[in-house]
Amino acid sequence: MKRIKLKSPAKINLFLEITGKRKDGYHDLITVFAKINIFDYVSMEKTAIEGIKVSMKNNSNLRLKKSGDNIIHKTALRFFEEFKIKPNVKIKLEKNIPVGAGLGGGSANSAVVLSGLCRMYGIDLKTNRKKMSLIAKSLGADVPFFLSEASFCVGRGIGDKLFPFKVKKKRYSIVLVYPGIPVSTKAAYSNLKLPGKKEAALNNLKCRKLVCGLKAGKDMGKIRDLPMNRFEKAIFPKYGGIKKAKEKIISLGADMAMMSGSGSSVFGVFSSDIAAKKAAKQIASGKNRVFLTNFL
């Protein structure tokens, strides 16, 4: 295979609790990952010239000092080093997913590059699943989720211990708002206050109930009290615009609304496409970048 073009999806977190800090500097968490149909696109082509060349069509807010800063370049380099293959590839990224938005765009790009290079260079992904998982984890905590084929997963550990599940539901309609305020994961964690053991246990139970509700196909309005995001308490006092975006989505009739990941995007789940379209139109103003989307 000489050429390949792949979709690189965004994700939202329907639940996110941080349960403790680890000795390696990472944090243990409980989360519910969900892929959504907002995409970057990654094109790869073998070349006659040795090396890794990365280019980008930037429809987002990504800023790079040099091409080597891109996670795509780091991922490709790691792949060729691990499998002892001489690199000869040209990779083009069409970047649409906002950066610093809690949507996992960079992690998805990394996972798509790994899977794409496996196909191009004849590396069996299933046979090398363990090695690929370790590579993915080393590149970012969310990369293993994007490397999986599942649309929905419970994530534990640092997010790398994955438990896929299927959602029995007619289509959910989602309005996603990026309020033009990027938030770094480091900044989010610096303001984070961890829960006590009792609170963490109760939230673990809420996560289980949420997953059961999604599996059973319940309307989001009936389980709206179960989703939560620990980072909201750390982010909202510092970034009032993000809090306002969530409040606006709720006021426009969302069945539930929440910030995704460590911010800054917020999303609302609506009971119908008509309601979602109406809300998206009303919230699309100023710095807000609005997406109408649904789960993959």
Residues in CB range of 260: below 8 A, 6 or more apart: 11, 12, 13, 101, 102, 103, 176, 229, 266, 267
Of 156, 155, 154, 152, the C-alpha closest to 166 is 152
Catalytic pick from 35, 95, 142, 246?
142
The question of whether 11 is a catalytic residue gets the answer yes
Count Cβ neighbours within 10 Å for each residue of 92-130 and write b for 16 or more, e otherwise: bbbbbbbbbbbbbbbbbbbbbbbbbbbebbebeeeeeee
Cα angle 253, 259, 261 (rounded to 5 degrees) comes to 150
As given in the structure block, the two tokens for residue 288 are 């807000």
Q: What whole-number distance in Å separates Cα of residue 194 and Cα of residue 179?
A: 26
As given in the structure block, the two tokens for residue 98 are 């906002």
What sign does the CA torsion over 296, 158, 154, 272 have? negative
Report which DSSP code applies to 226.
S
What's the chain's Rg over C-alpha atoms? 19
Query: Beta partners for 53?
Result: 90
Q: What whole-number distance in Å separates Cα of residue 243 and Cα of residue 250?
A: 11
- Amino acid letter, 133: S
Cα separation values, 116 from 34, 94, 167, 249, 280, Å: 21, 15, 27, 37, 34
Cα angle 255, 158, 56 (rounded to 5 degrees) comes to 80
Give the residue numbers marked as catalytic. 11, 142
